[in-house]
């Protein structure tokens, strides 16, 4: 007998979607990560007919996301996906580092079933909270036949984990697929596929099994007018393992910053060049420091951590 695989598991990690304020008109002076994932589901009666399970994996403001929580989350996602009755996963998350968690899960797991991150820009107590609609939409995406991979569903749009960035500090449609097409739109609960579900090969949980406190330390340094090498020297002195240079334009660097980065590289620190521009790749040219392709600085940092974990 075939087991129906229509169960959607909702994993809660906190964020504004679970945030509360003292008054309904307060959209910024709230505290994130107050409500449980079960509370969030209770606020969406339209999901009553679906087979859902909820699990609280963490309860934090995503500005404080850390390696240990990523390890736990990746393990929980893998465990749930291995159940034949589970058709997909939804992860409720804060918006601030959502693109980092999405990219991390994409690179580690590259799941064959859909893993849909969602969030909200307004707390649950707001006059017009966006969380319930986003959660409803995310469940529709996670239950879509043929859906796969790690995606982000927010404000009616479905983004690829590799592309998505938070591009606005306040608006409810705060996320963009900056350098590519949307994967899909969600319209009145219907998922309209526009592109392709993300695919790829995950590195696997073994890659991230090292105790979180011993993960490589990779920091981001930015080029800007007057950028010097002092920050790089200080980070080297603090024992950094890798550096992502958020360069200007095509990852260009001031003479002083580049010289400090090259010294760091010669001293055994891994150095990659990315761009502080909001979209677009860095091109590799002979003689330049290695480029991070189209990865934003924060995603390049994750890629470098995963690379160093494999060395
Ligand atoms: C957070 O990232 O946890 C707080 C901000 C948000 O979710 O919008």
List strand residue ranges (DSSP E) for the chain, in order: 7-14, 52-60, 86-92, 114-118, 149-154, 157-160, 164-166, 175-177, 184-187, 190-193, 218-222, 242-247, 270-275
What is the 128 CA–ligand 1 centroid distance (Å)? 17
pLDDT along the chain (311 residues), means of 10: 88 98 90 96 96 98 98 98 98 98 98 98 97 98 98 98 97 94 96 96 98 98 98 98 98 98 98 97 95 98 98 96
Residue 49 φ/ψ, nearest 5 degrees: -80, 0
**Which atom of ligand 1 lies at the shortest distance from residue 15's CA?**
3
Q: Does domain 216-309 have CATH number 3.40.50.40?
A: yes
Fold match between domain 7-193 and domain 216-309: yes
What is the 161 CA–ligand 1 centroid distance (Å)? 17
**Which atom of ligand 1 lies at the shortest distance from residue 96's CA?**
2
What is the 33 CA–ligand 1 centroid distance (Å)? 8
C-alpha span between 106 and 21 (Å, rounded): 33
Annotation marks residue 16 as catalytic: yes
Task: State the pTM of this model.
Answer: 0.98
Q: What is the pLDDT of residue 26?
A: 86
Residue 131 φ/ψ, nearest 5 degrees: -60, -50
Ligand 1 in contact with 32 (CB < 6 A)?
yes
Ligand 1 in contact with 94 (CB < 6 A)?
yes
Q: What is the pLDDT of residue 1?
A: 67
Ligand 1 in contact with 121 (CB < 6 A)?
yes
Residue 8 φ/ψ, nearest 5 degrees: -110, 130
Nearest-CA residue for ligand 1 atom 7 is: 94
CA distances to 13, 81, 176, 248 from 307, in Å: 26, 25, 26, 24
Q: What is the pLDDT of residue 27?
A: 84
Ligand 1 in contact with 61 (CB < 6 A)?
yes
The model's pLDDT over 244-285, given as tens digits with 9 standing for 90+, comes to 999 999 999 999 999 999 999 999 999 999 999 999 999 999
Q: Are strands 157-160 and 218-222 parallel, antiparallel or unpaired?
A: unpaired
Q: What is the pLDDT of residue 2?
A: 74
Q: Where are the domains of the chain?
A: 7-193, 216-309
- Is 142 in contact with 116 (CB distance < 8 Å)? yes
C-alpha span between 231 and 298 (Å, rounded): 18
Q: Are strands 86-92 and 114-118 parallel, antiparallel or unpaired?
A: parallel
Ligand 1 pocket: which of 26, 69, 119 to mutate (most atoms <8 Å of CB)? Answer: 119
Closest C-alpha among 138, 70, 57, 21 to residue 305: 70
What is the 247 CA–ligand 1 centroid distance (Å)? 27
Q: Does domain 7-193 have CATH number 1.10.10.10?
A: no
CA distances to 71, 119, 172 from 108, in Å: 10, 21, 29
What is the 18 CA–ligand 1 centroid distance (Å)? 9
- Catalytic choice (16, 69, 101, 275): 16
Ligand 1 in contact with 119 (CB < 6 A)?
yes
Ligand 1 in contact with 253 (CB < 6 A)?
no
């Amino acid at each position: 007998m075939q087991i129906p695989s229509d169960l959607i598991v909702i994993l809660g990690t906190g964020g504004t979607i679970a945030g509360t304020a003292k008054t309904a008109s307060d959209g910024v002076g709230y505290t994130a990560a107050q409500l449980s994932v079960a509370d969030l589901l209770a606020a969406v009666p339209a999901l009553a007919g679906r087979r859902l399970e909820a699990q609280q994996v963490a309860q934090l403001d995503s500005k404080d996301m850390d390696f240990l929580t990523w390890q736990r989350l990746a393990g929980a996602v893998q465990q749930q996906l291995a159940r034949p009755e589970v058709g997909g996963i939804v992860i409720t998350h804060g918006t601030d580092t959502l693109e980092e968690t999405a990219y991390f899960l994409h690179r580690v797991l590259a799941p064959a079933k859909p893993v849909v991150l969602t969030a909200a820009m307004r707390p649950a107590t707001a006059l017009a909270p966006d969380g319930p609609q986003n959660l409803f939409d995310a469940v529709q995406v996670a239950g879509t036949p043929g859906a796969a991979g790690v995606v982000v569903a927010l404000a009616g749009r479905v983004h690829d984990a590799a592309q998505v960035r938070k591009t606005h500090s306040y608006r409810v449609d705060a996320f963009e697929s900056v350098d590519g097409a949307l994967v899909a739109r969600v319209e009145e609960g219907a998922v309209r596929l526009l592109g392709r579900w993300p695919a790829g090969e995950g590195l696997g949980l073994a890659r991230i099994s090292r105790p979180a406190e011993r993960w490589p330390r990779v920091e981001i340094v930015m080029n800007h007018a007057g950028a010097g090498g002092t920050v790089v020297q200080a980070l080297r002195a603090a024992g950094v393992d890798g550096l992502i240079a958020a360069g200007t334009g095509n990852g260009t660097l001031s003479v002083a910053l580049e010289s400090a980065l090259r010294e760091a590289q010669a001293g055994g620190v891994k150095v990659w060049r990315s761009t502080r521009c909001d979209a677009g790749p860095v091109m590799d040219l002979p003689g330049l420091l290695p480029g991070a392709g189209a990865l934003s600085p924060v995603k390049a940092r994750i890629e470098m951590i995963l690379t160093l974990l494999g060395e």
